[in-house]
């Protein structure tokens, strides 16, 4: 499946070391004034080579819109776009070796053929298309007062434990780690540099906050809003876990501690539910966390097998992030933006449901 969404739908295409990554967006409203500079700014947040904490692959990631936007406004027709690959080094990848914890073997098992150049379609470079689609959705949602903000809340064992409401989220992009707590960000950066010098990698956690969502989005049974968000987040490369609201912490608490009491104006005194109850948004902030594993490519020789099952040594080479978290931030945001915009377009609330 290479398409995501129902009413607002992205179909992406392209491989890591092919000519380009691209996509087609269906379902966007006509007549929306679109700032393509703001879309490019989102790509700049995701692109490689933006700091010494990321891969050294040098890509400008310049957006080319091919259709669907005319004189600065959406036509309501499909938006086609591409971002060309420039800094390709397919020679960095062994044609036959199966890299541990990558999709090399599973793609081969599924299709009987694979693109060995950086994993082909399994590469995180595919997320370029998601960031573009998310950037269009962001501009549509901003007109409705809905915002999405993601930050790095954990790198390895270094955590930012403060509640998001106590943080100045405008500081997120002021450091290369993208953590809004400057002191914690400095420790995270030091941790990444330490493992980087050892040819190793780190995982971590990204926290996302969606504000301004009206009550009533999501479906009551199989299309629950949290399940849509979970599916979106777990489709991101290296994502290994998702929880929202109280999440796994709620397993050790009591109902008397974690119930969200209603207050006049359809507000809740607390928000342990994470803005979703019964699979439907309740008008409070939606917040969730996404756990990412350490990057599987190590800058050290690795014993593995080839596509014939024979033992081989995979030499240390290539260009990879020592920690995906800083560049995962705009990707998490993009997927959240697409889910919320899609849900908003799909919404058919009953007139009897209170609105906030």
Residue 81 vs residue 119, higher pLDDT:
81
Domain spans in the chain, listed from the N-terminal domain onward: 3-346
pLDDT in tens, 308-349: 989 998 887 666 789 999 999 999 999 999 999 999 999 854
Predicted confidence at residue 352, as pLDDT, reads 39
* Main-chain dihedrals φ then ψ at residue 74, nearest 5 degrees: -75, 145
- The pLDDT confidence band at residue 88, using thresholds 50, 70 and 90, is low
The bridge status of strand 3-4 relative to strand 158-159 is: unpaired
Predicted confidence at residue 52, as pLDDT, reads 76
Q: Name every residue whose Cβ is closer than 8 Å to that of residue 143 and which is 6 or more positions away in sequence.
A: 32
Confidence check: pLDDT of 93 > 90: no
Residue 321 vs residue 201, higher pLDDT:
201
Predicted confidence at residue 351, as pLDDT, reads 34
| Across 222-240, average pLDDT | 97
| Across 131-145, average pLDDT | 98
Say if residues 128 and 16 touch (Cβ distance below 8 Å): no
Predicted confidence at residue 258, as pLDDT, reads 96
Confidence check: pLDDT of 147 > 80: yes
| Across 9-21, average pLDDT | 92
Predicted confidence at residue 353, as pLDDT, reads 44
- The pLDDT confidence band at residue 299, using thresholds 50, 70 and 90, is confident
* Main-chain dihedrals φ then ψ at residue 291, nearest 5 degrees: -95, 135
Rounded CA gap, 264 and 277, in Å?
18
Predicted confidence at residue 48, as pLDDT, reads 79
Share the mean pLDDT of the chain. 91
Predicted confidence at residue 57, as pLDDT, reads 61
Choice among 91-95, 123-127, 164-168, 282-286 with the minimum mean pLDDT: 91-95
- The pLDDT confidence band at residue 118, using thresholds 50, 70 and 90, is confident
Confidence check: pLDDT of 1 > 90: no
* % of residues, the chain, pLDDT over 70: 94
Predicted confidence at residue 142, as pLDDT, reads 98
H-helix segments, 89-148: 104-111, 127-142
Rounded CA gap, 176 and 154, in Å?
14
Per CATH, domain 3-346 is 3.40.50.150: no
- The pLDDT confidence band at residue 350, using thresholds 50, 70 and 90, is very low
Residue 244 vs residue 98, higher pLDDT:
244
Q: For residue 67, which of 37, 127, 26 has the smallest C-alpha distance?
A: 26
Q: Is 233 helix (H, G, I), strand (E, B) or coil?
A: helix
Predicted confidence at residue 56, as pLDDT, reads 63
Rounded CA gap, 305 and 55, in Å?
25
| Across 180-206, average pLDDT | 96
Confidence check: pLDDT of 150 > 60: yes
What angle separates helix 127-142 from helix 325-346, to the nearest 10 degrees?
50
- Quickly count: other Cβ atoms within 10 Å of residue 277's Cβ: 17
Confidence check: pLDDT of 354 > 60: no
Say if residues 7 and 71 touch (Cβ distance below 8 Å): no
pLDDT in tens, 241-286: 999 999 999 999 999 999 999 999 999 999 999 999 999 999 999 9
| Across 123-127, average pLDDT | 91
Rounded CA gap, 135 and 121, in Å?
21
pLDDT in tens, 160-189: 999 999 999 999 999 999 999 999 999 999
Rounded CA gap, 177 and 196, in Å?
14
Confidence check: pLDDT of 127 > 70: yes
pTM over 0.85: yes
Say if residues 34 and 72 touch (Cβ distance below 8 Å): yes
Residue 96 Cα to chain centre, angstroms:
30
Rounded CA gap, 318 and 329, in Å?
23
């Amino acid at each position: 499946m290479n398409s995501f969404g129902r009413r607002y739908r992205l179909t992406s295409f392209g491989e890591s070391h092919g000519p380009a990554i691209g996509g087609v967006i269906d379902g966007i409203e006509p007549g929306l004034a679109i700032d393509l500079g703001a879309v490019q700014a989102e790509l700049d947040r995701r692109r490689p080579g933006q700091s010494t904490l990321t891969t050294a692959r040098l890509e400008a990631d310049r957006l080319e819109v091919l259709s669907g936007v005319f004189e600065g406004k959406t036509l309501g027709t499909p938006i086609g776009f591409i971002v060309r690959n420039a800094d390709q080094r397919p020679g960095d990848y062994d044609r036959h070796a199966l890299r541990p914890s990558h999709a090399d073997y599973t793609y081969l098992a599924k299709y009987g053929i694979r693109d060995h150049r950086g994993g082909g379609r399994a590469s995180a470079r595919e997320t370029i298309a998601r960031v573009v689609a998310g950037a269009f959705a962001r501009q549509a949602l901003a007109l409705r007062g809905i915002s999405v903000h993601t930050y790095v809340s954990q790198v390895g064992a270094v955590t930012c434990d403060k509640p998001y409401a106590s943080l100045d989220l405008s500081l997120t992009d002021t450091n290369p780690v993208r953590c809004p707590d400057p002191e914690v960000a400095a420790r995270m950066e030091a941790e990444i540099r330490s493992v980087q010098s050892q040819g190793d990698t780190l995982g971590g956690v990204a926290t996302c906050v969606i504000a301004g969502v009206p009550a009533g989005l999501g479906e009551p049974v199989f299309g629950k809003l949290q399940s849509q968000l979970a599916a979106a987040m777990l489709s991101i490369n290296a994502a290994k876990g998702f929880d929202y609201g109280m999440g796994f912490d709620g397993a050790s608490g009591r109902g008397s501690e974690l119930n969200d009491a209603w207050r006049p104006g359809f507000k809740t005194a607390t928000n342990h539910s994470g803005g979703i109850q019964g699979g439907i948004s309740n008008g409070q902030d939606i917040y969730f966390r996404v756990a990412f594993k350490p990057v599987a490519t190590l800058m050290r020789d690795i014993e593995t097998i080839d596509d014939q099952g024979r033992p081989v040594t995979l030499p240390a080479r290539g260009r990879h992030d020592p920690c995906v978290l800083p560049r995962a931030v705009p990707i998490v945001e993009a997927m959240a933006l697409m889910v919320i915009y899609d849900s908003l377009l799909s919404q058919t609330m009953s007139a009897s449901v209170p609105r906030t």
